[in-house]
Amino acid sequence: MSVEPVARVRGLRKTFRLSHSGIASIKTLMLWSKRGQVERLEVLKGIDLDLMPGECVAIIGRNGAGKSTLLSLLARVYKATAGTMEIRGRVAPLLELGAGFHPDLTGVENVFFNGVILGLTRAQVRERLDEIIDFSELRHYIDSPVRTYSSGMMARLGFAIAVHVDADLLLVDEVLAVGDLEFERKCYAKMDEFRAGGGAILFVSHQLDTILKVADRCLWLKEGVFSMEGTPAEVIASYEAAP
Which uninterrupted H or E stretch holds 193? helix 181-196
Q: Give the Cβ contact number of residue 134 at 10 Å.
A: 11
List Cα–Cα distances, 191 to 8, 26, 56, 146, 220, in angstroms.
21, 47, 9, 25, 22
List Cα–Cα distances, 37 to 18, 26, 227, in angstroms.
8, 16, 32
Q: Is residue 30 domain-resident?
A: yes
Beta-ladder partners of 92: 170
CATH of the domain at 141: 3.40.50.300
- Specify the pTM: 0.86
Which uninterrupted H or E stretch holds 87? strand 82-87
Q: Is residue 1 domain-resident?
A: no
Average pLDDT over residues 75-92: 93
How far is the C-alpha of 152 from the C-alpha of 206, rounded, in Å?
17
* pLDDT tens digits along 96-146: 766 678 999 999 999 999 999 888 999 999 999 999 999 999 999 999 999
Q: What is the pLDDT of residue 7?
A: 96
Q: Is residue 155 domain-resident?
A: yes
For 237, phi then psi, to 5°, come to: -60, -45
Q: Residue 25 — pLDDT band, cuts 50, 70, 90? A: low
Q: Is residue 2 domain-resident?
A: no
Per DSSP, the three-state class of 84 is strand
What one-letter code names the amino acid at 241? Answer: A
Q: What is the pLDDT of residue 188?
A: 86
Q: What is the pLDDT of residue 82?
A: 96
Q: What is the pLDDT of residue 30?
A: 58
Name the strands in the sheet holding 38-51, side by side, starting at the edge strand that comes first in the sequence: 38-51, 7-19, 82-87
Q: What is the pLDDT of residue 95?
A: 82
- Would you say residue 29 has pLDDT above 60? no
How far is the C-alpha of 40 from the C-alpha of 218, rounded, in Å?
29
Higher pLDDT, 240 or 20: 240
Q: Is residue 35 domain-resident?
A: yes
- DSSP tag of 146: G
Q: Is residue 57 domain-resident?
A: yes
* pLDDT tens digits along 158-178: 999 999 999 999 999 877 766
Q: Residue 2 — pLDDT band, cuts 50, 70, 90? A: low
Per DSSP, the three-state class of 80 is coil
- Would you say residue 27 has pLDDT above 90? no
Q: Is residue 171 domain-resident?
A: yes
* pLDDT tens digits along 186-240: 888 999 999 999 999 999 988 899 899 889 999 999 999 999 999 999 999 999 9
Q: What is the pLDDT of residue 177?
A: 67
Domain total of the chain:
1
Q: Is residue 138 domain-resident?
A: yes
The domain of 38 spans 7-241
Q: What is the pLDDT of residue 35?
A: 53
Are residues 199 and 6 in contact, defined by beta-carbon separation less than 8 angstroms? yes
